[in-house]
């Protein structure tokens, strides 16, 4: 009878202590006010999306009698944590006085470098120099030789201003790239194209298609062009080496330069490196493209995609949407 009672408690605890969302690894900074009890935190945990319901969490605490060691301060929690993992984190050492630093999806190394300088976190060029020396970092996957462009995962990172290093940030970005993308797939799946090629393709998709839903379609078109020996014709690649991405005069000059290795209008194959650091949706699109009859596409003034099967259809779209 006693053994059955313990089994029953374990089942209740397991049910009520399940994660709010097992598929969501988003890190959330959660603050524990002074004098809080773990039961008293249930409403705030629910509001933050960290527990499925305050009642379930309270029941879990009552059954397990855990949570008496929570510490005042800010803690890093995730919706994919079970109640036991949440309480363990709340009983751990609180976060130091850190600040958020956001790496925007699609940013190049040079734009991350500039943002770090603007935030007062690094000297000009320090991040770029570190990102061009992959040998000093570690990963479960093979890193490229000359630059980490494409592997520096875009996310909002909490950083301690007093102990910040560009090397530490880069290692965190590589770790998150692994967690959010590489480790989600079997090696054989990544080896079909090769991780390096997938990353380069994803960086182009990030710039070519703003909507996550249509990125697999664009990926299918671009891979088909590549496999058929066509030049990719992705104009965004010709912007990669510009000091300012939207410098139109410099961009037009690059488009006419056959010696530019990033000119995919005039040169065959993939560009030498990624042209930015893509989001998960672009990475997944590059890995799992959607096949179609389309060979061409353009975007109108509202950024809506218009694919075409033939040159004639594509030229008609150009006239219809005034894209030249």
Query: What CATH number was assigned to the domain covering residues 2-90?
Result: 3.30.1490
> Per the structure block, which two tokens stand in for 97?
């006085």
pLDDT of residue 275: 98
Pairing of strands 156-159, 99-102: antiparallel
The structure's pTM equals: 0.74
Q: Is 4 exposed, middle or buried (0-12, 13-18, 19+ CB in 10 A)?
A: exposed
Q: Do 60 and 83 contact (CB within 8 A), yes or no?
A: yes
> What residue spans in the chain does CATH classification 3.30.1490 cover?
2-90
Tens digits of pLDDT across the chain (324 residues): 444 444 445 555 567 889 999 999 999 989 898 888 998 999 999 999 999 999 999 999 999 988 788 988 889 999 999 999 999 999 998 877 678 999 999 999 999 999 999 999 999 999 999 999 999 999 999 999 999 999 999 999 989 888 899 999 999 999 999 999 999 999 999 999 999 999 999 999 999 999 999 999 999 999 999 999 999 999 999 999 999 999 999 999 999 999 999 999 999 999 999 999 999 999 999 999 999 999 999 999 999 999 999 999 999 999 999 987
The per-residue DSSP string of 108-120 comes to -HHHHHHHHHHTT
Place of tokens 């988003």: 26
Q: Which of 234, 220, 212 is nearest to 298 (CA)?
A: 234
Find the angle CA(250)-CA(264)-CA(276) to the nearest 5 degrees.
70
Say how far apart CA 172 and CA 174 lie, in whole Å: 5
The per-residue DSSP string of 177-205 comes to HHHHTGGGS-HHHHHTT-HHHHHHHHHHH
Q: Do 203 and 274 contact (CB within 8 A), yes or no?
A: yes
Torsion on CA atoms 141, 142, 146, 147, rounded to nearest 10: -20
H helix or E strand, kind and range, residue 29: strand 28-32
Place of tokens 């090769």: 194
pLDDT of residue 14: 63
28 SS3 class: strand
Q: Do 268 and 229 contact (CB within 8 A), yes or no?
A: yes
pLDDT of residue 97: 67
Number of Cβ within 10 Å of residue 138's Cβ equals: 10
């Amino acid at each position: 009878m006693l053994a059955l009672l313990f089994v029953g408690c374990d089942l209740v605890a397991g049910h009520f202590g399940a994660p709010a969302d097992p598929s969501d690894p988003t890190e959330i900074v959660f603050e524990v006010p002074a004098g809080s009890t773990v039961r008293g935190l249930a409403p705030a945990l629910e509001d933050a999306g960290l527990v499925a319901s305050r009642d379930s969490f309270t029941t879990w605490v009552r059954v397990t009698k855990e949570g008496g060691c929570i510490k005042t301060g800010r803690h890093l929690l995730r919706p994919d944590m079970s109640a036991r993992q949440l309480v363990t984190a709340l009983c751990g050492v609180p976060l130091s006085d850190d600040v958020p630093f956001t790496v925007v999806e699609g940013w190049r190394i040079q734009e991350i470098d500039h943002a770090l300088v603007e935030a007062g976190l690094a000297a000009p060029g320090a991040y770029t120099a570190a990102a061009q020396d992959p040998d000093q970092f570690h990963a479960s996957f093979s890193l490229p030789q000359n630059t980490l462009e494409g592997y520096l995962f875009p996310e909002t990172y909490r950083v301690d201003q007093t102990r910040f290093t560009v090397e530490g940030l880069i290692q965190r970005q590589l770790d998150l790239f692994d967690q959010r993308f590489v480790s989600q797939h079997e090696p054989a799946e990544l080896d079909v194209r090769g991780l390096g090629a997938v990353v380069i393709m994803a960086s182009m998709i990030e710039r070519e298609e703003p909507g996550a839903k249509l990125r697999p379609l664009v990926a299918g078109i671009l891979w088909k062009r590549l496999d058929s020996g066509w030049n990719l014709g992705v104009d965004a690649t010709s912007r990669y080496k510009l000091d300012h991405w939207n410098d139109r005069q410099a961009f037009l000059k690059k488009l006419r330069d056959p010696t530019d290795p990033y000119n995919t209008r005039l040169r065959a194959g993939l560009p030498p490196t990624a042209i930015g650091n893509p989001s998960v949706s672009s990475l997944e699109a590059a890995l799992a493209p959607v096949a179609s009859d389309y060979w061409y596409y353009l975007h109108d003034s509202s950024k809506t995609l218009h694919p075409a099967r033939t040159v004639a259809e594509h030229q008609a779209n150009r006239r219809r949407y005034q894209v030249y």
